[in-house]
Amino acid sequence: MKKHEPKYLKDYRPPAYWIDTIDLQFDLYEKEVIVTSFMKIQRNNEQAGEHTPLVLNCQDADILHVVAGDMVLLPGEYERGEDYFKLNRVPEQFTLEIKNRLTPQNNTSLEGLYKSSGTFCTQCEAEGFRKITCFSDRPDVMSRFSCIITADENKYPVLLSNGNLVKKGKLENNRHYVKWEDPFKKPSYLFALVAGDLVCIKDTFTTCSGREIDLHIYVEAENKDKCGHAMASLKQSMAWDEQRFGREYDLDLYQIVAVNDFNMGAMENKGLNVFNSKYVLARPETATDQDFMNIQGVIGHEYFHNWTGNRVTLQNWFQLSLKEGLTVFRDQEFTADLNSRAVKRISDVKNLRTLQFPEDAGPMSHPVRPESYIEMNNFYTMTVYEKGAEVIRMIHEILGREIFRKGMDLYFHRFDGRAVTTEDFIQTMEDAAGVDLSRFRLWYSQSGTPRVTVRRTYNEKRRQLTIKIAQTTPPDHNQQQKKALHIPIKFGLLDKNGKDITPPEHHLLELKSLEKEWVFDDIPSETVPSLFRGFSAPVIMDTDLTCEELSFLMAHDNDAFNRWDAAQQLYFREIDTLISGLQSHATPTVSSHVINALEKALKDPHMDRALMAKTITLPDENEIGEKYEIIDVDAIHSARQFLRQSIAKELEGLFMEIIDSGSAVDPKDLSHNAMAHRSLVNAALSYVAALESPQSQEIIYQHFISSGNMTREIFSLTLLCDMTSPFTGPALEQFYEKWHTDPLVMDKWFSVQAGATVPGTLDKIKSLCRHPDFTWKNPNRIRSLIGVFGMTNPFVFHQADGAGYQFFADKVIDLDKINPQITARMVSVFNRYKRYDARRRELMKNQLKRIHDVRGLSRDVYEIVSRALGE
């Protein structure tokens, strides 16, 4: 097996040569594409001398012709390695022309230049530009790009690249050409090209300085009527970035193209974003409320990159969180400002706890600024993105909104047009705020999730409350000894009537050592502390709060996030008791305080419906599993199910009232109230489904057929698929008949079946792999079926005989030959094998070894699997 070599942050050196300009020409044909690149190269005298060779990255490109200066070079006059192109002696300044051939129709990796449903498109981040042509494919080499595209006019009427269209015209043989110029210097990862037969939806946005920007969204003709929400979201993003961060758009044109086959959500190429169609196309009939929210978030995210990522870019890939963490923070704030802040925070934290915490406790754990990688694409992780955003949020919390904004202004002012590091960012924040963030920096270099313990003592006589807070971070392969982090704890104190009596100077407690005590004077007895309000730091908290106090917080905390979190803690405790009961074969019972707390929440006339929905929803099985050293999937499933059924029986009447009230909501209404109402109805339906009576099945089926809106339709279908009911088969067939021509809706049809926990699910998934609508070429489809099964269906995936593992590993091995990037994501489901019982652990490890031993395994999958096996 070929060893794949890691790259290290400590080895970073500035480039030996700059490439000031690159003029590209793409001649697109059906069987091949000819790329001609003309570069102006300049030695970086601070790094290199006359004997320093020029080494360009180059992968898969079939080189046809090389001209250095005015000399045509023969193949022996340059060196061509598997992944590089080298000239041993070059002058200080010279031009280099390289012509090469590509076959994008055979490129299934969806990186570099490839074809999606007949459209040519590119994906260059992180290191895909080298699959297009030879270049110094690293983010600190920033160049001015121009791009000529020639193609058949009938097949490819739309020809796009970054920047401004400066020329176009007709050529012989029914061909045409365009020339694009991007006035902003950029790294190669932001280059993009699209050519296809697409329709364009147009609008404009007038910026704060009065410039009119053309906004173009390109989609396949049949999707023309599904772009309204994406366009509205783009305009909202542009206005928000001006208002909240003072950032104005810089080109005269902003283009978005939706493609069907895309490895991730979207890509922020300068002036030409390429999007997974899932994050553009939506109508209430075809997309759920969550899809609408996701579109707004991703459109915002890519737009915000124009400043955080594109104008100020990365010195090297280890700094990825500089743009991703910061841009996720910005998109989270955008969504929070435009919708419900609390609902947004709850879903982000749930996501962090379910996906990032496990990542940070497993073999792929890495600091927010990683120190090494084998395949960069494997480091577009929850840690870099979501924990990275939490790190920015903590700075925001410590500095306060205004000073943070001052810091951001200074950051843009200092670094516009440059490629910088996370250290530059922190330094700028320190300078702007006049604070010392030296301990805070550890959040970038130290991996793992800190555990924070909070203990109280109260002195009746002195009316003195003491709160002792301690932190520890478990050692891991990155650091054996963990240091104390700088942890901001947003704090509140409630008296027994629920009144906030927090001393004003104590709204934010800053823990900078392993432990610290805070003493509060003149505090009445029976106060309840509210800690980490709004989840002010990405830690696992352990408190001494009683169940009564949690119920009290659930009802009275004036921090909405903590009200929700108190409910979650109550559920966890209840499920924990049920699990212990199940393990010792005791008769399970659900304690009345959970039912009472839920009933109170459901009857609260002031509670926002969306928050109510979140509050009554139980943590999912993966989240529950995270609480245990050894995860007992069967006990977790049964305990959760038992709790759900018990709640349903006790509160059936209230749930039915909610469901009945749902008919008043217009299925096309996308206002917060309408969405909130639908989410509450769905949460109530999920309880009613747990009753498993013929009546409840009938209710859900009726809901399904009368939906008129995808949020209702797919949720009721999900519930039907998760029960043994005569309605399930017909509902699936009806849905298929209605939607089989819409690929994004069909993804949902695959997902609901892959996520079911009823007997026979694995066989069903196997047969769905042979379904005519299933394809291994489309990442969305793969994620819907295989991804949902492996990542969100622990009960079936971990079935005791190991059949789930065997099936999954078979698919991983096959898929790696087609799309390594997606496969590497998939295979990480095995990363946590040590967290299961001995038998499952062995079964999973065997699959990992089997994958590891495959000949010609991709670098992507190799890195994940070898880390999982502890190499």
Would you tell me which residues interact with Zn ion (CB under 5 A)?
324, 327
* Minimum gap (Å) between residue 327 Cβ and Zn ion: 5
How many amino acids of this chain bind ligand B3K (CB under 6 A)? 12
With binding defined as CB under 6 A, does residue 366 bind ligand B3K? Answer: no
Smaller CB separation from Zn ion, 333 or 626: 333
Smaller CB separation from ligand B3K, 261 or 324: 324
With binding defined as CB under 6 A, does residue 268 bind ligand B3K? Answer: yes
d(CA 664, CA 733): 28
∠726-731-734 over CA atoms, to 5°? 140
3-state SS, residue 675: helix
With binding defined as CB under 6 A, does residue 380 bind ligand B3K? Answer: yes
Dihedral angle computed from the Cα positions of residues 102, 107, 113 and 116, in that order, rounded to the nearest 10 degrees: 130
Q: How far, CA to CA in Å, does 104 sit from each of 129, 472, 781?
A: 13, 51, 21
Q: Which of 127, 302, 390, 549 is catalytic?
A: 302
Give Cβ neighbours of residue 719 (< 8 Å, ≥ 6 apart): 685, 686, 689, 700
Smaller CB separation from ligand B3K, 793 or 828: 828
With binding defined as CB under 6 A, does residue 335 bind ligand B3K? Answer: no
With binding defined as CB under 6 A, does residue 324 bind ligand B3K? Answer: yes
Find, among 271, 283, 3, the residue nearest to 160 by Cα. 271
* Minimum gap (Å) between residue 854 Cβ and ligand B3K: 22
- Interface residue with ligand B3K among 22, 24, 98, 267 (CB under 6 A) is 267
* Minimum gap (Å) between residue 822 Cβ and ligand B3K: 10
Element housing 314 (H / E): strand 313-314
* Minimum gap (Å) between residue 332 Cβ and Zn ion: 12
* Minimum gap (Å) between residue 190 Cβ and ligand B3K: 9
* Minimum gap (Å) between residue 88 Cβ and Zn ion: 38
With binding defined as CB under 6 A, does residue 264 bind ligand B3K? Answer: yes
Q: What is the DSSP letter of 107?
A: -
* Minimum gap (Å) between residue 301 Cβ and Zn ion: 5
Smaller CB separation from Zn ion, 146 or 327: 327
Strand order in the sheet with 528-531: 508-511, 487-494, 528-531
Chain centroid offset of residue 721 CA: 27
Smaller CB separation from ligand B3K, 124 or 465: 124
d(CA 397, CA 728): 48
With binding defined as CB under 6 A, does residue 126 bind ligand B3K? Answer: yes
Active site residue 460: no
Cis check: omega of the bond before 566, within 30 degrees of 0: no
Smaller CB separation from ligand B3K, 320 or 665: 320
* Residue 264, binding choice from Zn ion, ligand B3K, none, Cβ under 5 to 8 Å by partner class: ligand B3K
* Minimum gap (Å) between residue 368 Cβ and ligand B3K: 15
Q: What is the DSSP letter of 385?
A: I
Smaller CB separation from Zn ion, 325 or 755: 325
303-322 residues in contact with ligand B3K (CB under 6 A) are: 305
With binding defined as CB under 6 A, does residue 295 bind ligand B3K? Answer: no
Smaller CB separation from ligand B3K, 728 or 823: 823
Smaller CB separation from Zn ion, 328 or 648: 328
With binding defined as CB under 6 A, does residue 377 bind ligand B3K? Answer: yes
Map tokens 């939490």 to a residue: 390
With binding defined as CB under 6 A, does residue 375 bind ligand B3K? Answer: no
Smaller CB separation from ligand B3K, 255 or 847: 255
d(CA 602, CA 297): 29
Map tokens 């959760």 to a residue: 640
* Minimum gap (Å) between residue 216 Cβ and Zn ion: 21
d(CA 48, CA 15): 8
- Other beta carbons less than 10 A from residue 767's beta carbon: 11
* Minimum gap (Å) between residue 300 Cβ and ligand B3K: 10
* Minimum gap (Å) between residue 478 Cβ and Zn ion: 24
With binding defined as CB under 6 A, does residue 302 bind ligand B3K? Answer: yes
Q: Check if the beta carbon of residue 466 is closer than 8 Å to that of residue 456.
A: yes
With binding defined as CB under 6 A, does residue 27 bind ligand B3K? Answer: no
Q: In this structure, what token pair is assigned to residue 324?
A: 């991703």
Q: Which stretch binds ligand B3K (CB under 6 A): 47-55, 77-85, 266-274, 778-786?
A: 266-274
d(CA 867, CA 869): 5
Smaller CB separation from ligand B3K, 262 or 836: 262
d(CA 672, CA 299): 19
Ordered DSSP codes for 489-536: EEEEEE-TTS-B---GGGSEEEE-SSEEEEEE-S--SS-EEEESTT--
Q: What is the DSSP letter of 452?
A: E
Q: In this structure, what token pair is assigned to residue 319?
A: 């700094």
- Interface residue with ligand B3K among 23, 27, 60, 125 (CB under 6 A) is 125
d(CA 444, CA 369): 5
With binding defined as CB under 6 A, does residue 292 bind ligand B3K? Answer: no
Three-state SS for 166-194 is EEEEECCCCEEEEEEECCCCECHHHCCEE
Q: How far apart are the first and last CA of the chain?
A: 14
Greatest CA span in the chain, whole angstroms?
Answer: 95
* Residue 380, binding choice from ligand B3K, Zn ion, none, Cβ under 5 to 8 Å by partner class: ligand B3K
Q: Check if the beta carbon of residue 458 is closer than 8 Å to that of residue 464.
A: yes
With binding defined as CB under 6 A, does residue 863 bind ligand B3K? Answer: no
d(CA 346, CA 615): 10
With binding defined as CB under 6 A, does residue 289 bind ligand B3K? Answer: no
* Minimum gap (Å) between residue 314 Cβ and ligand B3K: 11
Smaller CB separation from Zn ion, 60 or 324: 324
Smaller CB separation from ligand B3K, 377 or 696: 377
Give Cβ neighbours of residue 319 (< 8 Å, ≥ 6 apart): 369, 420, 421, 422
Q: How far, CA to CA in Å, does 359 sit from each of 366, 485, 536?
A: 9, 19, 20
d(CA 509, CA 529): 12
Phi, psi of 810 (to 5 degrees): -55, -45
Q: Check if the beta carbon of residue 594 is closer than 8 Å to that of residue 650.
A: no
786-825 residues in contact with ligand B3K (CB under 6 A) are: none
Q: What is the DSSP letter of 485?
A: P
Please list, residue by residue across 552-569, b when 16 or more beta carbons sit within 10 angstroms of its beta carbon and e when fewer do.
bbbbbbebbbbbbbbbbb
* Minimum gap (Å) between residue 373 Cβ and Zn ion: 17
d(CA 360, CA 626): 12
Q: Which residues are at the interface with ligand B3K (CB under 6 A)? A: 125-126, 264, 266-268, 301-302, 305, 324, 377, 380
Hey, which residues are catalytic here?
Answer: 302
